[in-house]
Amino acid sequence: MTKRIGLFGFGVVGQGYYQIAKKQKEQWIPDTIVVKNKFKRRPSDIKFSYNPQEVFDKNPDYVLELISNTEEAYQYVTEALKRGITVISANKKLLSAHLPELIQLQRVFGGKLLYEAAAAAGIPVITNLETHFEEDNIVALEGVLNGSSNYILSRIFNNGLSFSDALRLAQQKGFAEDDPKFDINGSDVASKLNILCLHAFGKFIGEAHIPTFGIQHLGEEEIALAKSLGLKIKLIAKAEKDYRGISAFIIPTLVAEYNPFHGVENEYNAVKITSEHLQEQFYQGKGAGSLPTGAAVYGDLIKAKNGFGYNYSKVNFDKPLEEKLLNLGVRVLIKSKSESQIESVLFSPELNQHIDGYHFAVGKVKPKNFNRLNESGEVSIIALPDDLSADQISEGLNCAQNAEEMV
Amino acid sequence: MTKRIGLFGFGVVGQGYYQIAKKQKEQWIPDTIVVKNKFKRRPSDIKFSYNPQEVFDKNPDYVLELISNTEEAYQYVTEALKRGITVISANKKLLSAHLPELIQLQRVFGGKLLYEAAAAAGIPVITNLETHFEEDNIVALEGVLNGSSNYILSRIFNNGLSFSDALRLAQQKGFAEDDPKFDINGSDVASKLNILCLHAFGKFIGEAHIPTFGIQHLGEEEIALAKSLGLKIKLIAKAEKDYRGISAFIIPTLVAEYNPFHGVENEYNAVKITSEHLQEQFYQGKGAGSLPTGAAVYGDLIKAKNGFGYNYSKVNFDKPLEEKLLNLGVRVLIKSKSESQIESVLFSPELNQHIDGYHFAVGKVKPKNFNRLNESGEVSIIALPDDLSADQISEGLNCAQNAEEMV
Ligand SMILES: NC(=O)c1ccc[n+]([C@@H]2O[C@H](COP(=O)([O-])OP(=O)(O)OC[C@H]3O[C@@H](n4cnc5c(N)ncnc54)[C@H](OP(=O)(O)O)[C@@H]3O)[C@@H](O)[C@H]2O)c1
Ligand SMILES: NC(=O)c1ccc[n+]([C@@H]2O[C@H](COP(=O)([O-])OP(=O)(O)OC[C@H]3O[C@@H](n4cnc5c(N)ncnc54)[C@H](OP(=O)(O)O)[C@@H]3O)[C@@H](O)[C@H]2O)c1
């Protein structure tokens, strides 16, 4: 039987979906496609609408919400769920902001909401958390979750580009937004980690509460240090759970060759899940792009048709969904022009070095300080592998400096 | 409602399952556990049976087939499926031998058969092929699918052990069978690749038809060569599909650092899937062991309870399931004492070198010759990365030889 599908949005993701649906059985072609900008050129063989209500007037079986705006997406998605319609969304900002309410609407009105494309795009991480890991106890989840940041870091480390040149290239390639702020300051990653935490641990943290430090303050000195140590820097989202509670944060991290994230390059995303029974699993795939995201949306639709929905199996619905994060110190290399600024956040110091007008220190920083440091713009922090000693870092810093002076 | 579960086998996998089930809701504890050897010591708090019929007398909702024997497993599994019972199996040998019939029994009698643990153990590759990739066109599937072989190669490359010492260690650690023949000659991998090909391409190849070369003939020279080139050797299962048909084979392969299999160490397995829409995905996880395999079995049970079954979505049931493989040449380094033996299989030659009583050559070999060469025991072949030139190999061989002479 042909299903009625209403589609909101015909951008990167919407077009990817459409291209895939067109190749398959006819029933998955949307009968209404709503877009926003009346002055945009559109393919002449597809009918578009500018009236959101038209989707609902046609009593759709499924609604696909693939738009860039959050408030309007909230209107469309809640409206659909209140009608008991199954919704597929790729909108991490929307989901991250409203998941508790959206879960509640599914439970009350019986419509399902699937959103595999919203976190790590093509990688089926949410589905696997909900099925394969359903009865397993997840103790850690780590990820490279922003394709643009990762692309920039790849160009810096593999092609020797400067940060600003790498960013420009990412924009040219369409990996970064016109305003790439949310990509490189970690905010996009925080949305995704917030969604994943709910499926991994059954708790809603709220992205504003996830300590976040982006890649935009990475300086040449840290990059040179990483290279001189034979390491790379990746923007890592990390969440851990133990008997005390959950810790989660986002921070540029030095990774060694043995770390599976070391090989995650360009616009790829990756997720590592550590659990009691399955132990350690690692998934890697395209984190952005028209076809991979369109395929994830298409996959959600097929899963929904087959009766699949998220059970939110880790959630205990008799308890509050919200949970506060622990605030355990993270071992970092910190760089600043101001020693007192470092002293105000660093504890358990292991190293203190002064090079070329910068103070470098190794020690621990509480994640609660990350956002403030991120916004101040005067400090750079990088998380360190446990087995990298302060002495090695000191040597690396000297070595990187000498290399620079030789140039 | 409590479900009745009959369990066959209480070895590595059965005990892993039991340990996990005991921690969860009570309904998944088997009410009958059938084992074989009446003289084995067993835990005193669990009741065992030696009569397979007892499982069926109790009218189980689910049957778990986790035994080591293939013929008896065939009896149990077909009996259960003929009664319309849902069966979970980890038995790659059984599945690889009888999948066409077992699919037919599911279709006729309505019972489901799930077997995630049978290929790549803890990695949910079959489920993802059946769901996430359901409507995507898979063009290639590659894997490291045998934990023991991979453990041996890790010990050789990372700890400098000899082949025989590494094998002994794998046996001590319980990763290799007492008779490790099927691990190291590639036969276990062939079973798994045969199963995965059915889910990836919808075709049954038959493991006897999959050209297979194991790691048991890898000599010191090839290992030294790989090291001198900064590469590793992994036992890779590879299947590809294009307009002409399917190619598939298993062969030790030189892998460079940029290859995601380079970082797959010890008892880990990994699978890389290339498809039209999702493009390239890579999954890594534990390929053996009590808890990871037990968790995969447990996960199958939960999925079955939630209504999930394999749709065999790539299979066209109006056509024969069986398909013959293409026999396209594979570029290899071949080593033998006999030059004429090399000449009898090699074409498109690129290199011919004589070192220390061995002939080394680079060129192409038809996969149909793999099994014969594997069994002859006088030849070693390794597949080569496309970007590794014959000149580099020649240099590497000289360099490796010089290093040896220096010792
Ligand atoms: N791009 C990726 O790789 C990717 C990956 C994962 C998730 N996502 C998420 O997927 C969603 C869509 O991203 P995108 O990259 O496809 O964005 P995009 O290329 O900017 O396209 C956005 C589309 O939404 C439409 N739109 C905006 N506001 C609308 C409204 N109020 N009503 C109807 N249509 C509206 C736009 O209409 P006009 O055509 O009229 O401008 C446009 O067609 C976002 O939530 C994004 O975060 C994207
Ligand atoms: N080990 C792994 O990591 C792994 C991973 C993936 C798949 N698998 C597959 O899972 C299956 C089980 O492997 P395993 O490692 O658990 O084997 P195992 O440790 O050797 O245990 C085999 C169990 O099967 C029982 N058994 C053998 N024949 C039987 C029969 N006719 N009736 C009833 N029980 C019988 C044995 O009984 P006794 O206790 O009386 O000897 C034993 O309990 C195999 O098909 C294997 O290929 C194993």
DSSP-assigned beta bridge partners for residue A270:
A144, A284
Distance (Å, whole) CA B114 – CA B307: 12
Q: Is the pLDDT of residue A1 over 80?
A: no
Whether residue A403 is predicted with pLDDT greater than 80 in this model: the reply is no
- Residue A249, both tokens: 């944060």
Q: Name the token pair of B369.
A: 């010759």
- Contacts with A, B 269-288, CB within 8 Å: 275-286
Q: Atom 25 of ligand 1 has which residue's CA nearest to it? A: A9
**Region A142-163: what's the mean pLDDT?**
96
For residue B181, report the distance from its CA to the centre of ligand 2, in Å: 17
For domain B5-114, the CATH superfamily is NAD(P)-binding Rossmann-like Domain (3.40.50.720)
Tokens representing residue B135 in the block: 């409507």
Q: Does B26 touch chain A (CB under 8 A)?
A: no
Q: What CATH number has the domain spanning A330-406?
A: 3.30.70
pLDDT on residue B360:
97
- What gap in Å lies between CA A136 and CA A217, rounded to an integer? 38
With cut-offs at 50, 70 and 90, classify the pLDDT of residue B176. confident
- pLDDT category, A172, cuts 50, 70, 90? confident
A258 to chain B, minimum CA–CA distance in Å?
A: 7
Is there a catalytic annotation at residue A232? no
Token pair belonging to B397: 């061989």
Would you say residue B10 has pLDDT above 70?
yes
Does the distance separating the beta carbons of B260 and A135 come in below 8 Å?
A: no
Looking at the predicted structure, is the pLDDT value of residue A404 above 90? Answer: no
Out of B295, B303, B311, the one facing A277 most closely (by C-beta) is B295
Say how far apart CA A258 and CA A387 lie, in whole Å: 12
Mean of the per-residue pLDDT values of chain A: 95
Q: Are B230 and B257 in contact (CB under 8 A)?
A: yes
Collapse the DSSP code of A143 into the 3-class scheme (helix H, G, I; strand E, B; otherwise coil) and give the result. Answer: strand
Q: Which H or E run includes B325? A: none
Distance of CA A282 to the CA centre of its chain: 16
**In angstroms, what CA-CA distances link B355 with A194, B349, B360?**
59, 17, 8
> Residue A212 and residue A242: Cα distance in Å, rounded?
21
Facing residue for B299 by CB, picked from A131, A260, A289: A131
B18, B45 contact by CB (below 8 A):
no
Task: Using the predicted structure, report yes or no on whether residue A47 has a pLDDT greater than 80.
Answer: yes
Chain A residues whose beta carbon lies within 8 Å of the beta carbon of residue B296: 132, 278
pLDDT for B406? 66
Question: If you average pLDDT over residues A279-287, what whole number do you get?
Answer: 97
**Touching B: A residues 134-153, CB under 8 Å:** 134-136
pLDDT value for A184: 93
Structure tokens at A233: 């820097």
Dmax (CA) for chain A in angstroms is 72
| Strand ranges of the sheet holding B62-65, from the earlier edge strand across to the other edge | B32-34, B5-8, B62-65, B86-89, B113-114
Kindly list the residues from chain B whose CB atom is less than 8 angstroms away from the CB atom of residue A279.
Answer: 122, 285-286, 289, 291-292
Q: Where are the alpha helices (DSSP H) in B269-312?
A: 290-305
- The full length of chain B comes to 407
Q: For B179-191, what is the mean pLDDT?
A: 92
With H, G, I as helix, E, B as strand and everything else as coil, classify residue A378.
Answer: coil
Whether the CA torsion A185, A191, A197, A203 is positive or negative: it is: positive
Question: What is the best residue among B36, B46, B50, B68 to mutate for testing ligand 2's pocket, by most ligand atoms within 8 Å of CB?
Answer: B68
Residue appearing with tokens 């192409």: B364
* Cα dist from B271 to A276, A281, B231, whole Å: 22, 12, 19
Pairwise CA distance, residues A205 & A192, whole Å: 12
B407 has pLDDT over 70:
no
C-alpha span between A407 and A318 (Å, rounded): 63
Superfamily of domain B125-285: Dihydrodipicolinate Reductase; domain 2 (3.30.360.10)
Prediction pTM value:
0.95
Candidates B277, B284, B286; nearest CB to A292: B277
Strands A86-89 and A113-114: parallel
Residue of A nearest to B28 (CA): A135
Query: In the predicted model, what is the mean pLDDT of residues B302-327?
Result: 95
> Which pLDDT score, from 0 to 100, does residue B180 have?
86
Q: Which residues of A touch B136 (CB under 8 A)?
A: 295, 299
Which pLDDT tens digit goes with each residue over B319-372?
A: 999 999 999 999 999 999 999 999 999 999 999 999 989 999 999 999 999 999
* Domain boundaries of chain A, sorted by first residue: 5-114, 125-285, 330-406
The pLDDT confidence band at residue A406, using thresholds 50, 70 and 90, is low
User: What CA–CA distance (Å, rounded) separates A256 from A252?
Assistant: 13
Global ipTM: 0.92
Q: According to the model, what pLDDT value does residue A174 have?
A: 78
Closest to B311 measured CA to CA, from B93, B126, B81 = B126
Question: Does the pLDDT of residue B187 top 70, yes or no?
Answer: yes
Q: Rounded to an integer, what distance in angstroms lies between the CA atom of residue B239 and that of residue B241?
A: 7
What are residue B253's DSSP bridge partners? Answer: B234, B383
